[in-house]
Every structure is written in C-alpha cells, then in structure tokens.
A and B are shown apart, each in its own frame.
Chain A
Amino acid sequence: MSTAIDDNVIHGEWHVRYNYSVGKVAGQFFDGLKQKRILASHCAASGIAYLPPRAYCERAFEPCDGWVEAGHQGVIEAATIVTAQFEHLPPPPYAIAYVRLDNVSTALVNFVRGMELSDVPAAAARLKPGTKVKVVFKDTPEGRITDFHYELA
C-alpha cells in the first residue's frame, strides 16, 4: 500500500494559567516604578548594583544587602531594530536596547522610542553601544517594567 499521506492533524491548544510570585525584591522594584524611581539592588561584597534587581549577587553569591537609585540617563550596551512581525509581539518596526543606567553595573532592556526607523541601517547606526539615552516614564505608572522606555538623549 502506498498512498500519499495527507498532513492529517488533530488540533490542540495550550492555555495554562500561572501565578508567578513577585517576592520582596521585585516587589520593591515595581513599587519604586510607581513613584517613577528605578531601584537597583546592591551587593556590598562585590560592589555590584543590579538591574533587574536581584535578591542575591551572582558574583559574591551572597544576598544583595542594599538599594541604589538608578539615574534616568544611561548608555546603550546593545540594541536592535525589529522589522519582522512575530506572533504575539508588537507590530514592527521598533527598537529595543540594553541600557546601563547611571549608578548601575548591569544593563536593563526596554524599548527605544521616538526614533525614525524606516532606514534600518541608518537607525542602527544611531543606536551603537556607548550612545547616551534617557529614561521617559508614563504619566501614570502602574508598577510594570513597561512604565518607562528609553529615548535618545
């Protein structure tokens, strides 16, 4: 018997609900956002200030024991301009960047808005590592990472 096999499928979908615990550290960070403050956790042993805030320091492997407030200016460490439409992701084009904010040791990803993106290589050239950017908050932050974004300084 040799019949062509159709792509005969059984349809399935997968909706699982999750309740992710925020915990104290992330909770404090998100509370800070509501006041337009970006709080980084700090480890005295290593001297590293982390964004996203960490309960512990990866370098010292000790609990982070303090907080520092990040400046609202920083430099790009890495960036890209997304020009393809991905399922469940925003309509292109848009830019995202890892930015190391003032007073902080690590870089935090967010959207870079307010840029002309139609000429992709030209726009990419304006987002090179080392480029200065600033933080812009929403008028009414609600304690989400999307309460703010970056813009070229």
Chain B
Amino acid sequence: MAKNTVAVIGTGQTKFKTHYADKTYVELAQDAAKLAMDDAGVTPDELDAIVFSMAPTQFMGVNDCDRWATSHVWGTGKPFMRIHAGGATGGSALQAAYVHVASGVHRTVLVVGADRVAETPDAQHVLNLIWDRFYEHDFALNTVTMTALAAQRYMSRYGTTEEQFAQVVVRARKNAMGNPYAHLKGEITVDDVMNSPRVAYPYKRFDICPRSSGAAAVVLSNLDVAKEKCARPAFVNGVSAITHSVFMGDRMGVFSETEFSDHDGEHIAAYEAYRQAGITDPTSQIQVAELYDPFSTFQFPSIESLGFCGRGRAAAISDEGGWDLDGQVAIGPSGGTLCTNPIGVTGLVRVVDAANQVMGKAGQNQLPNVHNAVATAVGGSTQFFAVTMLGDDHATRGRVQ
C-alpha cells in the first residue's frame, strides 16, 4: 500500500474546440493551471512541484514544448517533469504526480497540460509517423486504421454489429450536452452514424472522435493539505498503467498471451488499481467510469476489461441501456473521449471528469451518490493502459467490503 494518502483537491479544464485562434499553446496551459489552483484554493507558492502532461509535440510544432510552458504554469524554479505515454499521457502524468505525493517527497503537486491538435493540417500523417519505420510505417497505419483492425477482430469474436457501436456514439453525444467543456454534442440517431461517410471498415466518420484543442489541470495533495483545503476531495485510491509490445501482430492468434481486441492490459491495470483501492465488486462499488474511448469500438472491450460484465457482453447490455446515466454503471457521463480528444491531456480530462463526479462538482451531469469513479487512458498501438481509481473515502483502501 502507498505510504501516503493522495487526494485530488482541485480540477480545471478549458472548453474544448478544434482551434483556439486567440491563444498560444502556453496560454492555454496557463488557463487550466489557474482554474485548478483557484478550485483548490492554492497559490503558486504552495505548489511543490509540477508534472506536465504532453504527448507527441509534432501536432503543436515545438519540440519539448513543456520547457516553453514552464513559466506559464508557474513552474519556474520548481521541480518540473514531463510525462509522455502517447494517448495515455494524461493518465500516466496523474500517476506520476501521485508518486510525488505518495512517496512523501512532495505535499502539493500540479498536473497540467494542453494540446493543440489542429495547429497542423498533417495530424493523421503525424500519427502515421509513430509506426516503426521498417515494418509498419508503410501500411497506412494510423490511429484510425489500427483501431479499425481491432474492432473488426472484436466483431468477429463476439458478433457485435456496426449499429451497436453506433449506439455508443448516440449516447456519448447526448451525455456531452450536459458538459459545457465538450467539443461535440447533440441529439443524433443510429442512422446518422451509419450514414456518415465510411473511413476504414467498420468506421464511419461519427464513430471517430474529433481533434480537439484545450487544456486541463489537477491539483493533488497529501491528506494534511487536503483536510485544510478541500471539503470533499477525490482520493486517488488506486493507480496502475500496463504496457504491451508495440507489435499488434504479437497480440493476435493462438500463440499470443494476450488478445489485442480485448484490451487485456486494461484488465490487468484495472484489477491492480482495484486491489489497491479495495474494490472487489466493480459493478456494485463503482458508479462512474470515464473511459478513454476515442472510437465507438473502444467502450465494449474497456467495459469488459474493467469487470463491469463478461467478455462479449457489453454490447447487449448497451442495447438495454445498462451504460446510460441511470444504468448499472454510468459510462462517460461527460460524453467522453468520443466527443472531446485533446490527445496530450485527454487522460487527464478523464480524471478531471471522474474526480468532479466524486467531489460533487460535475454540474448538470452530476450523478447522485458517487462514491467511486474510475478513469482510464489508452495510448500507442492500443498498448498503454492507465487506470486510476478515485473515491470519496481514502479509508476504503485495502478494506474488503
């Protein structure tokens, strides 16, 4: 068990949209830092350290842009490091900040980041450049095609239909209507999704998240600071981040120890986080899941990996409304990553939205009686899985209920 209790005592996020013409990258990051510090009631002097959340810099176009942002996020003269795990960056950055506090080295830490995915018109080209130059780069792999491959495999294993994935999009966009920060939102139908242009089978355009710009931040502290600053903190009760090989072809077929389309690493990470948090029956103990679901096809294997139902069952439960706001577990009440994806901070936005539910600050989308919420982040070739457990009571850690 961790040596020191860690709590989220403040959160901040900007509105997310395709482009901020009126701000630079560092000004966006600054906005989120200020929001989170104000929310926590801490001043820059009270911050012991900063963790910067930033994925590839090629979208916004400045190498190691965290160095440029240092002063803007009140990091001058402070311990400052950047965490980068592709799409899982925000989840991993939160967990890095967690060890700053859990280790006792620091008391109060700001996690902050921003992304400007629309600064370049070449975003999918950049996402093709992540592939191995020798073996995979040539095959038009990008985040869309790579996850389409997994989705086709998942459909083949469990008989899931394109319409069932479409229903996920409908629910996400509807949930996002109650989230003032979400990028895409609105009432759409399954037919709208099915009739949007095909991109890479089984994807249509609406199955895919937007490219978003914006920023997010979280203030973490130890128990003493949390008691002083925050009436209802969200305790970070479990953290785990599991990595797979980059080679997707190693994760398929009879010789593989894991199954690519099942998000096995997410399952391993979830159950380690649950073990730390004392969660033994996720469906009854967890009320909210903020998933890293940039594609409609991500929800079902994620829900199954988190133990909310058996393998291959999530789609049928989705059809019955089991993942709606009033379902057995509310999946993505914020609208999730399908509606908003500022890559370098998406995982952090998941933590912000999950923590806000625990802290009772989720506004129009606040659900009643949220005691535990889980936030995930996924990155690389669907190979990095970060799972963070948030709860209203740190005393539940390790206690079997």
Which positions in A face B, CB cutoff 8 Å? 5-8, 12, 14, 18, 20, 22, 26, 30, 48, 50-52, 58-59, 75, 77-84, 86-90, 94, 96-98, 100, 105-111, 120-121, 123-124, 127-130, 144-146
Contact = CB atoms under 8 A, between A and B. Distances in A.
B130 interface: no
Interface string B144-156: 1100111011001
B188 to A, nearest CB: 20
A121 B161 CA distance: 11
Given A86-B125, A86-B128, A120 B201 contact: yes
Contact of A105 (B128, B157, B255): B255
A48 B256 CA distance: 9
B199 A90 contact: no
Given A12-B61, A87-B124, A146-B138, A6 B252 contact: no
Nearest to B127: A86
A80 B152 contact: yes
Interface of B: 19, 21-22, 58, 61, 121-122, 124-125, 128, 132-136, 138-142, 144-145, 148-150, 152-153, 156-157, 162, 197-202, 245, 247-250, 252-253, 255-257, 260-261
B134 A14 contact: no
Nearest to B261: A78
A30 B138 CA distance: 14
Given A50-B250, A81-B201, A109-B248, A20 B133 contact: yes
Interface centre among B136, B144, B245, B247 (most CB of A within 10 A): B247
A77 B252 contact: yes
Contact of B247 (A18, A52, A97): A52
Given A22-B134, A107-B248, A130-B156, 12 more contacts: A5-B21, A14-B61, A52-B247, A58-B245, A75-B253, A82-B145, A98-B149, A100-B253, A107-B253, A120-B198, A129-B156, A145-B135
A6 B20 CA distance: 10
Contact of A78 (B124, B149, B250): B149
B141 A96 contact: yes
Given A96-B140, A107-B252, A109-B249, A78 B21 contact: no
A79 B250 contact: no
B145 A83 contact: no
Nearest to A88: B125
Contact of B140 (A26, A86, A100, A108): A86
A83 B196 CA distance: 12
B124 A52 contact: no
Nearest to B62: A12
Contact of A98 (B134, B201, B249): B249
Given A124-B152, A128-B156, A87 B248 contact: no
B249 A77 contact: yes
